[in-house]
Amino acid sequence: MALVRSSRSPVRRGGVGKTSLVREFFGSEQAVWGFCEPLSTPRPLGPFQDIARQIWPAEQDFDVDDMRERLLAWVRRTPTPLVVEDAHWIDDASADVLRFIGRRIDTSAGLLVVTYRDEVDGDHPLRRVLGDLASAAGVTRVTVPPLTRAGVAEMVSETEIDAAEAYRLTNGNAFLVSQLLLAPDGRVAASTRDAVAARVARLSPSARGVVELLSVIAGRVGAELLGADWSRLDEPVVAGLLRVDGAVVEFRHELVRLAVEQALTPGQRQDLHADVVRRMVAQGDIAPATIAYHARHAHELELAFTSQRAAAERAVALGWARTARPPSTITRRQRTELAWLPRPSWRGCGWRPPRRRTWSAVTNRRWRLRSGRWNCARCRSRCCVARRCGG
């Protein structure tokens, strides 16, 4: 009996190629497959009913006792392998049959292969079966590792996708790499969004809200920012969506985060960014540039530009002059949004700006004014942004 599972490190979740590995192993050899399903009402003996219909097509109904005895007798005399797919969705009755056969399969000529994701908690039926079969003879566990950087590079070698970026987005997950090939333009493939949405939909409303909140924050998030919501991470962590490292949490795969974020409606996205802004302002030790990013997406423009100005002043004070965005890289939309800023006063030096000013010149002066790049040496103020007073 072979138990095929996803690896524990660094990726231990679905999509690393368990099914592909089993199908490639058997090749043209015939195998009898049974499937576990994530149904709201479990199907008793679901995978073994699938197997029984292929072995005994004339018979339809089997109870637990009849199923396990007949299957064990069939395995002992027939070398045809049996495959139970996605056992992390197994029902209690099927778990009993699996335990019964697994403890006796070493005396048979058959092979039973079980694939599952390592995302089951202590109360799951499969977890109890794994514990009972831990010391059983004839049971072998096979861990499927994620793709290496070289493996990811080979998969994307015939495309224009950067290999390093592909590995960063997928972390070596074979399914996500294959989905990345379907949408090389940077958008998340529809099949990826559907797969992620199905997993998110199984979470409780409170856990789903935390996942959606984290989807608008790129990178790692500390426990202080989440506050009381930290206790709601258990479900998404067990489901393989998130990964906790000490006092920080992050998405297990960047591509999954993008899929969750792109599934949000515009209103949801704005509300989540506003929630992030409130949390960051209350925390108090967040970089102004980070607050500016979320404030802009929350449509809180005044806070966004205030934070941008604070970030630029901080960069200049620390000698990071290149951190401030030069006027040539300001977009047309940002130039339009800058119109609400008060025009600078020119009273300190007696100099007046020319009447005809292009948008680029106005934006240039305002950017210099906000970033602190120009200070008049004569009048000791920022009002003289053009140094026309001779200072």
Q: Are the CB atoms for 121 and 69 separated by under 8 Å?
A: no
Q: What is the pLDDT of residue 44?
A: 87
Residue spans per domain, the chain: 2-144, 149-281
Burial of 45 (0-12, 13-18, 19+ CB in 10 A): buried
Tokens of 137: 């003879």
CA distance 11 to 173: 7
Q: What is the pLDDT of residue 185?
A: 61
Q: What is the pLDDT of residue 365?
A: 55
The CATH number of the domain covering residues in 2-144: 3.40.50.300
Q: Do domains 2-144 and 149-281 have the same CATH topology?
A: no
Task: Report the top-level CATH class of 149-281.
Answer: mainly alpha
Q: Please report, as a single letter, which amino acid is at residue 190.
A: A
- Dihedral of CA atoms 63, 69, 75, 80 in degrees, nearest 10, equals -20
Q: Are the CB atoms for 34 and 50 separated by under 8 Å?
A: yes
Q: What is the pLDDT of residue 361?
A: 52
Under DSSP, is residue 60 helix (H, G, I), strand (E, B) or coil?
A: coil
Q: Are the CB atoms for 89 and 37 separated by under 8 Å?
A: yes
Peptide bond into 10 cis (omega under 30): yes
Can you give the pLDDT of all 391 residues of the chain as single tens digits?
Answer: 666 555 432 333 444 567 778 888 887 678 899 998 887 777 888 899 999 988 988 877 778 888 889 998 898 888 888 999 988 889 989 999 999 999 888 888 888 999 988 777 777 888 889 888 888 888 888 888 888 889 888 888 887 888 888 888 888 888 788 777 776 565 677 777 888 888 898 899 999 999 999 999 988 898 999 999 999 999 998 888 898 988 889 888 888 888 899 889 999 999 999 999 999 999 888 888 889 899 999 999 889 888 888 888 877 776 655 545 544 444 555 555 555 444 444 444 444 445 544 445 555 555 555 555 444 544 444 444 444 444 4
